[in-house]
Amino acid sequence: MSSQAESAVRSIEEELFAEHRLFDELGSSLIAATIARDATAAHAIWNDLRSVLLVHVQGEDRFLIPALARRQPQEARALLAEHKLIRDRVGEIDAALAQGLRPIQSLRAFVDELNAHARHEAKVLYAHRDAWLDDKERALLDAYRDEASKVSSAASSSSTFTGFVR
């Protein structure tokens, strides 16, 4: 692999790790705003977290996990199942917040689940990226990142998110 390709792969990995750190930071801020009964802040933070999280998961589902599936199908299925759980939990939290509830315990559990998922991805998906992401897949991923950045920008102008979706 060329040093340019290695640099691109490293930057993808760094972006993915940065996104997981952002999810944790936004989750902690969301819990704090919910505890403080600041519904306006909680909704704004949730909208940011939901938007960037779903774009992140979609990118992994479209580009990274299919490449992993050719080499480690059982791990790919496990990550897809975790992504389904994340989407389900997002729907549950959406519903609770729409009803005016303060689901503090659910939010804490969700942040814990995201952190556990991040550890799993770091071990399985990110650690072996050199073995499964070829130049064509990297080019497709870059095209997706460009496309997704437009979605992310439109979804939340207040977010500090700049990772996977640039």
- Return the H-helix or E-strand segment holding 165: none
Mean pLDDT of the chain: 80
Q: Would you say 144 and 63 are in contact if contact means Cβ atoms under 8 Å apart?
A: yes
Task: Set out the domains of the chain in order of their start, with CATH numbers.
Answer: 3-155 (1.20.120.520)
Phi, psi (5° rounding) for residue 6?
-60, -40
Lowest mean pLDDT among 108-112, 115-119, 137-141: 137-141
Q: Which residues contact 144 (CB under 8 A, 6 or more apart)?
A: 59, 62, 63
pLDDT, tens digit, 9 for 90 and up, residues 19-60: 888 899 999 999 999 999 999 999 999 999 999 999 989 988
What is the value of pTM for the model shown?
0.77
